[in-house]
Amino acid sequence: MFEYIIQVIVFQLGFLLLYELLLKKETFFTINRLYLLVTPLVSLLLPVLKFESLATLVPAESIAGLQVLLPEVYIGGQPEASQVLPAVKLAVQQGLQINWWLVTYVAGAVLSLMLLIKKYRDLNHLFRFRRISEDKELRIIEVPNSKIACTFYKTVFLGDKLSEAEKQQILSHELVHVKQRHSLDLIFFEALKIIFWFNPLVYIYQSRIAVLHEFIADANVVKTTTKRSYYEQLLNTAFNTQNISFINQFFNHSLIKKRISMLQKSRSKTIAKYKYLFVLPLLFMMLTYVSCSENREIDEKEEPIYQQLTEIKLAVQEGKELSLEEKEELFEIMKVVMETERPPMPPSPPPFEKSSTDNSNSVPFGVIEDVPVFQGCKDLSSNEERKKCTSNKISQFVNKNFDTSIAEKSGLTGVNRIIVQFRIDETGNIADVKARAARPELQEEAIRVISELPKMQPGKQKGENISVMYSLPIVFQVGGGE
């Protein structure tokens, strides 16, 4: 979620910079209005759009940083290849966990909502005054003892201290806001400000579109009146405004200079519309970044391919011959690797100390004819089914027997990772159990649980019982996430 929010903010910043540098000074007000309304929504969608075709255009090194993987250096002999089982996930809940990030977000959203309600109450107060006229398309309300001039949706508020000439000119301006539903644009950004109250760019977006509304209304008014008289009206009328961000105000002191400057500006030439084409390469870069950053890690299903290749290589180096079926399987693996063009997995964590046990009768897992089998999995027909069943049974056993109360005793929090290595020997017993973890108590508990695994049917190669080494990752989550 954090990465998504960062991407949204960066994309909105990109769109705003393009607007500020190239589009803001153009007189294509309607197109600019559409741009300011659409690009915040596009920024929300872009992080979830993934295009594989774009991911292939940019090498992974240019996104993740150039990385050269050197081969492992083994000290004291090459370690034995082991079968990596799927990670066992353990979870234990600790009392009441307060997510302070969530609390902060909700507090900010509630505060933003309260500010919006306060603004609405201030606006609602204006609706109590006398209505000069009202029909389906327009309602005019006169505010006593005031020179106010503003619009909300289909309602125009005019102060009773304005002269008739001023009222007519102001009304023609405010009618543009009414007809083009400018208030809906501002309400849209008010909603975004509640959801994304922490994003300063939403406030900038609302400010830019409020200015644009005034440019649109001014451009329409000067079609029916002289610019000189309109300038005088803007400069000479006393300023009297309400601090409500979702209404369109005629007398906004900070906007007067900008409005007059834009009125004096010549209409943009048609060729200037080509500036909007710069949106396309910007979108392309954003989509490419999102697509390339989606899966920089190899899928879990692909990991065994490289593991099997390593194990087969070790088997060949040890002088073992591959059967015709194993050779065909090797060619299939190589074909998949060449098609996906994936780099090999980074080296695994440093190996465990080499066991003093005689492992001369062990065989790499990738070339075993009959894998070791957990009780209850013997009747399955294929090696693959027996592998999956054994893996599931071991996972269930660890989940059932692991003492999760160790978390409270040792003061553990967050995610704790343990890697266990063990052997199923020629008799089917569990041997050479070792564990690595940040805390010794976790190592001891993991060794205890794995040592209690029931006797299994040993693996077989060419009719002889063999020993097989396994690695089992355990993820112990205490309370919240990482």
pLDDT tens-digit readout, 45-83: 998 887 777 766 665 555 444 444 455 444 444 555 566
345 band by pLDDT with thresholds 50, 70 and 90: very low
3-class secondary-structure state, position 262: helix
Rounded to 5 degrees, what angle do the CA atoms 219, 221, 224 make?
120
Query: Is-contact 44 8, C-beta < 8 A?
Result: yes
Say what angle helices 279-292 and 2-18 make with each other, to 10 degrees: 160
pLDDT computed for residue 305 by the predictor? 57
Q: Across residues 2-23, what is the average pLDDT?
A: 93
pLDDT computed for residue 229 by the predictor? 72
pLDDT tens figures, 307-341: 556 556 555 655 556 666 666 666 666 666 665 54
Dist CA 342 CA 114 (whole Å): 52
Exposure pattern of 60-94 as b/e (b: 16+ CB <10 Å)?
Answer: beeeeeeeeeeeeeeeeeebbbbbbbeebebeeee
Query: Is-contact 123 247, C-beta < 8 A?
Result: yes
pLDDT computed for residue 449 by the predictor? 92
pLDDT tens figures, 375-417: 888 888 787 888 888 888 888 899 889 988 888 888 888 788 8
Q: Across residues 469-480, what is the average pLDDT?
A: 82
Dist CA 478 CA 442 (whole Å): 13
pLDDT computed for residue 35 by the predictor? 96
Dist CA 81 CA 448 (whole Å): 23
Q: Across residues 229-243, what is the average pLDDT?
A: 59
pLDDT over 70 at 252, yes or no:
no
pLDDT computed for residue 298 by the predictor? 40
Task: Return the structure tokens found at 10.
Answer: 């960066």
pLDDT over 50 at 238, yes or no:
no
Order of strands, sheet of 149-152, starting from the edge strand that comes earlier in the sequence: 131-134, 139-143, 155-159, 149-152, 248-249
Q: Across residues 224-252, what is the average pLDDT?
A: 62
Q: Across residues 118-144, what is the average pLDDT?
A: 89
Backbone angles phi, psi at 57, to 5 degrees: -75, -30
15 band by pLDDT with thresholds 50, 70 and 90: very high
pLDDT computed for residue 301 by the predictor? 43
Dist CA 331 CA 328 (whole Å): 5
Query: Is-contact 406 418, C-beta < 8 A?
Result: no
pLDDT over 90 at 116, yes or no:
yes
